[in-house]
Structure 1
Amino acid sequence: MTKTVWKVDQVHSEVGFSVKHMMISKAKGTFDKFDAVVEANPEDLTDAKIEVTIDTASINTRNEDRDNHLRSGDFFDSETYPNMVFVASDIKKKSADEYEVNGDLTIKDTTKPITLDVTFEGQSKDPMGGNTVAGFSGKTAINRKEFGLTWNAAVETGGVLVGEEVKINFELELHKQA
């Protein structure tokens, strides 16, 4: 099967994250605006071209004050650095539907290699228009400090307000383009 171009269905896709909050719980959120350039055979991603762009200002933790702080220079500095970008560089098939996707993640002005664990969830025909649709899920974890997201505050009981490890997860529905 040859590679084809796929477009993200925003309504049926999500990029989310979680990070320790006050050393005792997790703060969770999503990025509401993102897109991807995917050229692939969904049943064999090993030679796929994948580039994901995430709008940092679209962060949504369901708390306006926290979201504004995350958009500020203390974290993403969304005015100066409006996007995070992931570009795949090497994809290894681990099983029939699981992949290790290596690539470079750029946040602010820092680019570091990361690895995504990706699962091909299958493909189907859209009953509304007969278009081919493919599903993928995945996850990774990064150390936010390695990307220049270093702001923190001490908490009274010891420790810090925001953990260093950020767990990232995603669900993508992709539509095959004609």
Structure 2
Amino acid sequence: MKKWTVDQSHSTVGFEVKHMMVSKVKGQFTSYTADVAASELEDLSTASIGFTFDVASIDSNSDDRDNHLKSADFFDVETYPSITFHSTNITKDGNDYKVTGDLTIKDVTKPVTFDVEYGGKGTNPWGVEVYGFEAEAKINREEFGLTWNAALETGGVLVGKDIKIKVELEVNPSA
């Protein structure tokens, strides 16, 4: 199995959640590590994939919100500094893939399946092969102990319980 490196300057690990029942808040984790091993990335079903996200790197375009997300109300970064994902099964689905793995947030581990679209293969200007993938999964944040919320006067809640995790990756062979 070959090792593959995630090009973080061309990759994003993001999320989105309903805000006040009417709009979405989007954000990302700007610091993460990834372990990708596969015989060949044109057939992702041979891969082993692992991610570790530094929760303190959360960026939702608002310092106040980010500080609240880092607090014990949400992620409690002092106690739980990272989120991890490790693939357990990868199946081909037409031209795309289903990547199932164990997602751990605040010491709660649950299986999550990402729908993964293979974007293709190219060669960058320096002669290095690059592969592109987009992945998306939906989780219920409350199942991972992220239960803080506030009721709205008009009905509903401040923060939706469903979180979309969106990952865009560009990978190349490790040197």
The bucket for the TM-score relative to the shorter chain is over 0.9
Structure 1: 4+ residue segments shifted above 3 A: none
User: Aligned residue for 2:153?
Assistant: 156
* Deviation for aligned residue 1:47: 2.2
Letter in 2 for 1:120: Y
Q: Secondary structure at the match of 1:35?
A: strand
Query: Which one of 162, 172, 175 corresponds to residue 175 of structure 1?
Result: 172
Cα distance in 2 between the residues matched to 1:9 and 1:79:
28
Q: How do 1:6-155 and structure 2 match up within 5 A?
A: 6-40=4-38, 41-96=40-95, 98-127=96-125, 129-155=126-152
Cα distance in 1 between the residues matched to 2:131 and 2:118:
8
Cα distance in 1 between the residues matched to 2:57 and 2:123:
30
* Deviation for aligned residue 1:22: 0.8
Cα distance in 2 between the residues matched to 1:31 and 1:142:
16
Letter in 2 for 1:75: F
- Provide TM-score, normalisation by structure 1: 0.95
Deviations 1:5-56 (A, max 9, x none): 1111111000111111111111111111112100011111112110011111
* Deviation for aligned residue 1:112: 0.2
Identity value in percent: 56
Q: Tell me the number of residue pairs that the alignment of Structure 1 and Structure 2 aligns.
A: 174
Cα distance in 2 between the residues matched to 1:110 and 1:47:
27
Structure 2 unaligned regions, length at least 5: none
* Deviation for aligned residue 1:80: 1.3
Work out whether residues 16 and 28 of structure 1, in 8 Å CA contact, stay in contact via their aligned partners in 2: yes
Work out whether residues 42 and 120 of structure 1, in 8 Å CA contact, stay in contact via their aligned partners in 2: no
Letter in 1 for 2:9: V
* Deviation for aligned residue 1:119: 1.1
Q: Secondary structure at the match of 1:67?
A: helix
